[in-house]
């Protein structure tokens, strides 16, 4: 048993303990340091899902104004306007909020997970937090447990459930006092951050925690490693939960679960760690803006192009929408999400559960590769103007078979370019596709 456990573990150091406790499989206990926590394998569901929907909703959805509308209160800055902003909470009615309608749209997008703002930097909690008296969605505004209602609807549709959570709060008196002490005191963390995080986990059992608002203070102030060790060892979601990398100043792109790095992280080549790009359909804001113009909204081909590039480079794509304060999702956002889902309904085989291939793209073209088992997928962005289509990287054999996912069961004519590598493919005439992208399936190539 001991030997079996030892050999089934990838990380010998953290697996020494199961040798003593003889738990099943690799039930290592993580210690409260980054070396141990960073070595935790990411639960597989996350890499397989590839696509998530990010939802920014809160008191900021009431004024719903300006670039990055969720930052409005911070743009204002002056203490005098604290009260004015707080009044917006009473206008956060959510009268049309139907969590089942939302979850239907998210499911139809083809996403495998949803990440919802439980609390943004304004500190308003979208659940009845005992630590946020009169500044939560049950005491004020909607008078509903928004986190709980959406969690149930999302889980019912077999989507993974994620919670965005801001560690800091712009104007919380305890946070400001800790900050004034140079973060030598930890009253805010002891009385607010940690109890709320634990409460969220126990109450709503998230599969993903998307941490944010960490950058003002080091992870030793937030006690991030203590929290994560508890999350990975003893919480009810210890085997399934995935986290990101925003756990303290200097942490991102370095520590935690998968890497978000900066917002809209766009690496130029294959990163050596699982990562996620978050991107908003409204290019200027995460929260809803009443002053949003159509020209500022990503169109479907841009979304698909971005997502295909991200997946080819081993990332996940977290696409954001900001619902309105009345609980409606703007039809333009719904249309984009359903369009993405329609494209994935045809081409998803080239996306879900794939791995990066040995080469990510054909140079100077819009072709992106992924691979699954022994099959290679080449996704073409934009219908090629030059026919036949030439791919220089795959090495063919007599057993090579080429099909288009949108034209299934019909092998396409192809010929090698040189003895060493490459092939030309004769594409069928295809009708207009709103996604403007097509995935080729290449079997028997290396
Ligand atoms: C943070 O962790 C340290 C070390 O375990 C502990 O002494 C301290 O009390 C913790 N602080 C909070 C706020 O939990
Ligand atoms: C292909 O790979 C997936 C995931 O890696 C696996 O679940 C599946 O069984 C494989 N399919 C075949 C036909 O080998
Ligand atoms: C693309 O460019 C890189 C760097 O110049 C080169 O190493 C690689 O062989 C090229 N690949 C193809 C398919 O032309």
Kindly state the DSSP code that residue 407 receives in the 8-state scheme: B
CATH of the domain spanning 10-18+29-350, picked from 3.40.50.2300, 3.20.20.80, 3.40.50.620, 1.10.40.50? 3.20.20.80
Q: CA triplet 438, 276, 170: central angle to 5 degrees?
A: 135
- Strand 208-212 relative to strand 375-381, pairing: unpaired
pLDDT tens digit sequence for 406-439: 999 999 999 999 999 999 999 999 989 999 999 9
Nearest atom (ligand 3) to Cα of 362 = 13
For residues 39 and 225, give the distance between their C-alpha atoms in angstroms, rounded to a whole number: 13
Q: Does the pLDDT of residue 14 top 60, yes or no?
A: no
For residues 184 and 196, give the distance between their C-alpha atoms in angstroms, rounded to a whole number: 21
Give pTM, 2 decimals: 0.92
pLDDT tens digit sequence for 94-111: 999 999 999 999 999 999
CATH of the domain spanning 355-443, picked from 1.10.240.10, 3.10.20.440, 2.60.120.330, 2.60.40.1180? 2.60.40.1180
**Cα(395) to centroid of ligand 3, in Å?**
15
Q: Is the CB of 395 under 6 A from ligand 2?
A: no
pLDDT tens digit sequence for 383-415: 998 899 999 999 999 999 999 999 999 999 999
H helices of 331-434, in order, are 331-347
H helices of 269-329, in order, are 300-312
Atom 1 in ligand 1: which residue has the minimum CA distance?
223
Contact predicate 378/425, CB 8 Å = no
Q: What are phi and psi of 58, to 5 degrees?
A: 180, -165
Specify the range with the lowest mean pLDDT, choosing from 4-8, 76-80, 209-213, 269-273. Answer: 4-8
Domain ranges of the chain: 10-18+29-350, 355-443
List pocket residues of ligand 3, CB cut-off 6 Å. 362-363, 392-393
Q: What are phi and psi of 182, to 5 degrees?
A: 70, 30
Ligand found nearest the CA of 373: 2
**Cα(363) to centroid of ligand 3, in Å?**
6
């Amino acid at each position: 048993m001991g030997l079996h456990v030892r050999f089934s573990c990838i990380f010998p150091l953290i697996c020494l303990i199961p040798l003593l406790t003889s738990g099943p499989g690799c039930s290592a206990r993580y210690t409260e340091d980054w070396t141990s926590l960073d070595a935790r394998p990411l639960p597989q569901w996350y890499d397989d899902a590839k696509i998530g929907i990010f939802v920014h909703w809160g008191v900021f959805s009431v004024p719903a104004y300006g670039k990055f509308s969720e930052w409005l209160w911070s743009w204002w800055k002056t203490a005098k306007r604290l009260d004015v902003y707080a009044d917006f909470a009473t206008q956060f009615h959510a009268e049309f909020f139907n969590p089942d309608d939302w979850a239907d749209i998210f499911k139809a997008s083809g996403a495998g997970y949803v990440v919802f703002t439980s609390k943004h930097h304004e500190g308003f909690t979208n659940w009845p937090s005992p630590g946020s008296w009169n500044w939560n969605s049950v005491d004020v505004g909607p008078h509903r447990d928004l986190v709980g209602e959406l969690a149930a609807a999302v889980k019912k549709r077999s989507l993974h459930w994620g919670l965005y959570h801001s560690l800091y709060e712009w104007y919380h008196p305890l946070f400001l006092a800790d900050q004034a002490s140079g973060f030598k005191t930890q009253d805010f963390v002891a009385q607010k951050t940690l109890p709320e995080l634990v409460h969220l986990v126990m109450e709503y059992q998230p599969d993903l925690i998307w941490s944010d608002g960490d950058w003002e203070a080091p992870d030793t102030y937030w006690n991030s490693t203590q929290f994560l060790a508890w999350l990975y060892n003893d919480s009810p979601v210890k085997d399934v939960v995935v986290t990101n990398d925003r756990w303290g100043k200097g942490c991102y792109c370095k520590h935690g679960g998968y890497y978000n790095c900066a917002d809209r992280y766009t690496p130029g080549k294959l990163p050596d760690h699982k990562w996620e790009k978050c991107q908003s359909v409204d290019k200027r804001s995460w929260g809803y803006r009443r002053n949003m113009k159509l020209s500022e909204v990503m169109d479907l081909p841009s979304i698909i192009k971005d997502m295909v590039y991200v997946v080819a480079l081993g990332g996940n794509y977290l696409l954001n929408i900001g619902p309105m304060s009345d609980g409606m999702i703007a039809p333009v956002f719904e249309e984009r999400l359903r369009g993405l889902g329609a494209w994935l309904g045809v081409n998803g085989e080239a996306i879900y559960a794939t791995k990066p291939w040995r080469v990510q793209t054909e140079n100077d073209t819009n072709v992106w590769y992924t691979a699954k088992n022994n099959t290679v997928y080449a996704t073409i962005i934009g219908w090629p103007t030059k026919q036949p289509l030439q791919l220089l990287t795959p090495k063919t054999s007599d057993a090579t078979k080429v099909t288009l996912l949108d034209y299934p069961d019909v092998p396409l004519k192809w010929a090698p370019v040189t003895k060493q590598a490459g092939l030309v493919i004769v594409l069928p005439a295809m009708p207009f596709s709103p996604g403007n992208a097509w995935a080729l399936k290449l079997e028997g190539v290396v």
